[in-house]
């Protein structure tokens, strides 16, 4: 049974992880020092979701992939110059802050509204992909908010493998403790999938796909709607880099219980 899916991947941009990030308080709240000058990349977890979406679409003819991104338009354009060569997709940009200090509910509302506005999107074929975690919005709740606002109850997180069954259903492998997976059965779309690292390598650059994508990406960026994300009473009193603290002792023949007890006492102290 072949089903053509409508796959929407939610992905933000983040500063390149090789950069030194220094938080600072500004007039509009917390942010990163010299944030506009930092080179940006597609969020690593969301990038895996995009690669899995493109792979699934290739396996099922007629499927289509959209990339919905809430990011500053100028920075998003720079990132798209490289991401566009990785996979075929249609960009749905939202011009707004990519900071990790934004409220996940407000971000989820903006993403859900953008998804609703996609013309021709069919709920009975809809798959919402995204990162299980995030390098900036690591609350672990943004994708859940999107699913709830769209009325999608089947949600799976920490996913490494999604298998399509002959009857059109899904077998979904979610990470659990101890390096194991929980395998769930889902009848089919609509469904929300929060990806971990998946099983696919990063695709090679394909200039032809990049040129085809950019013909749609540039006009879409020009039409991007600006949004202002309310903080909903969220207040930051201080932002700072975690201070390093190292106290090393060499102890021989200590049992795991003794080590655990000492760690708990150290945390309480």
Res. 137 pLDDT band, cuts 50 70 90: low
CB 192 within 8 A of CB 155: yes
Q: Whose CA is closest to 34, among 16, 45, 46, 21? A: 21
- pTM recorded for the entire structure: 0.81
CA 154/CA 174 separation, integer angstroms: 13
pLDDT at 206 over 70: yes
Provide the mean pLDDT of the chain: 85
DSSP 215-243: HHHHHHHHTPEE-----TT---S---PPP
> 247 or 1: which carries more pLDDT confidence?
247
List the chain domain ranges: 6-226
Query: Which CATH number fits the domain 6-226, given the four candidates 3.30.470.10, 3.90.550.10, 3.40.50.850, 3.40.50.620?
Result: 3.40.50.620
Res. 5 pLDDT band, cuts 50 70 90: very high
pLDDT tens digits for range 18-70: 777 777 776 666 767 777 777 888 888 889 999 999 999 999 999 999 999 98
């Amino acid at each position: 049974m072949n089903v053509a899916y409508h796959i929407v991947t939610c992905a933000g941009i983040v500063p390149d992880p090789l950069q030194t990030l220094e938080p600072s308080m500004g007039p509009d709240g917390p942010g990163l020092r010299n944030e506009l000058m930092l080179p940006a990349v597609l969020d690593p977890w969301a990038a895996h979701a995009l690669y899995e979406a493109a792979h699934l679409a290739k396996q099922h003819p007629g499927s289509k992939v959209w990339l919905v991104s809430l990011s500053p338009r100028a920075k998003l354009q720079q990132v798209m110059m490289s991401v566009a060569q990785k996979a075929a997709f249609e960009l749905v940009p939202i011009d707004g802050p990519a900071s990790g200090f934004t409220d996940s509910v407000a971000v989820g509302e903006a993403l859900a509204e953008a998804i609703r506005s996609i013309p021709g999107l069919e709920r009975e074929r809809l798959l919402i992909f995204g990162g299980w975690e995030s390098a900036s919005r690591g609350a672990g709740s943004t994708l859940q908010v999107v699913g709830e606002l769209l009325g999608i109850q089947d949600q799976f997180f920490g996913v490494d493998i999604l298998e399509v069954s002959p009857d059109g259903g899904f077998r979904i492998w979610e990470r659990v403790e101890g390096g194991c997976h929980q395998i769930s059965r889902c009848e089919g779309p609509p469904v929300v999938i929060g990806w971990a690292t998946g099983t696919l390598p990063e695709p090679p650059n394909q200039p032809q796909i990049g040129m085809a994508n950019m013909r749609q990406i540039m006009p879409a960026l020009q039409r991007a709607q600006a949004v202002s994300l309310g903080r909903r009473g969220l207040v930051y009193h201080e932002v700072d880099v975690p201070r390093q603290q190292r106290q090393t002792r060499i102890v021989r023949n200590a049992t795991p219980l003794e080590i655990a007890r000492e760690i708990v006492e150290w945390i309480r102290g």
